[in-house]
Amino acid sequence: MNELESYEKRIRDICPELAIESINLNSSGLLNDVVIVNDELVFRFVKRDFGYKDPREEANLLRLLQKYISLPIPEPFCESSEALAYRLIPGATLRRDILMKLPEDDQQAVADQLAQFFKELHGVPVSEISDFEIPKADALMKYEGWMNAYQRIQEKVFPFLIPHVREWATEHFESHLSERSNFEYELKMVDTDIPPYHIIFDRQKKRINGIIDFGCAGLGDPAIDFGVIIYNYGESFMNRFYKVYPEAETYLKRARFYAGAHEIRWLLTGIEKNDIWWFAVHVGSAKDVKYNAA
């Protein structure tokens, strides 16, 4: 029995009444294998290689977010310790090149959609979060954690960097780590993992059709979300958010730090895990970050 046949059997166990006419497997994800059935149902199965995340926690979170998020997000109809199932949100990955080729008005409309999504997400009442027992976000790391990460970066990553890149990395980390206050913030509901392939785009309507994969979400620093946006789409695109979400600008300093730290941390992970997959995840990012005058 091959991998796809194994997943088909597991799906039949979960949904014995389901008539399977077509089935496709995507095993390229870090945390999950995804099986699409009949081009309309998503079955996400947990991988345990990198770190186990209980799908039931994500299902619990999604039910909370349904009350606050206006864009379509997954609505689970089945969850277990190994799988999460929901109806497919149709569309394509919102690649940066696709976004940048849109007419000006459509780029702004997409930015407005994302800004509204983050405004709603970050605005989920903390009292509600507590009632749902939502965990801390995966990407949440306090000052001591970043100091430890930087020490490992110096020891394991710096030897592979050419001098000017090493100088940039040193300045990037040490300028931020020199102020402990940069790691003091109010915890809010955050996504932390919203790369282009989690933003589902309707290329005909030129609008976002939905947001998927909240497996890393939880309580954390809202600036992390904007760091991911800057990293993947550029700060010039994030500047479009402020009409809908003016408070987003107050997170820029930390967002720029997170954006610059992403690929260095991925290099560190690749070295520590001896896995070349991590060396390729940064390919195609925006590299569009503004710097304050020295």
Structural domains in the chain, sorted by start: 16-87 (3.30.200.20), 92-279 (3.90.1200.10)
pLDDT attached to residue 85 = 96
The gap from C-alpha 195 to its chain's centroid, in whole angstroms, comes to: 5
pLDDT attached to residue 129 = 72
Three-class SS state of 152: helix
**How does residue 133 score in pLDDT terms, banded at 50, 70 and 90?**
low
pLDDT attached to residue 291 = 66
pLDDT attached to residue 27 = 87
- pLDDT of residue 132 exceeding 90, the answer is no
- pLDDT of residue 169 exceeding 60, the answer is yes
Average pLDDT (224-228) is 96
pLDDT attached to residue 277 = 79
Q: Facing residues of 199 across strands?
A: 211
Q: pTM value?
A: 0.93
In angstroms, rounded to a whole number, what is the distance separating the alpha carbons of residues 89 and 75? 10
- pLDDT of residue 226 exceeding 80, the answer is yes
User: pLDDT per residue over 253-285, tens digit each?
Assistant: 999 999 999 989 999 999 998 888 777 776 777
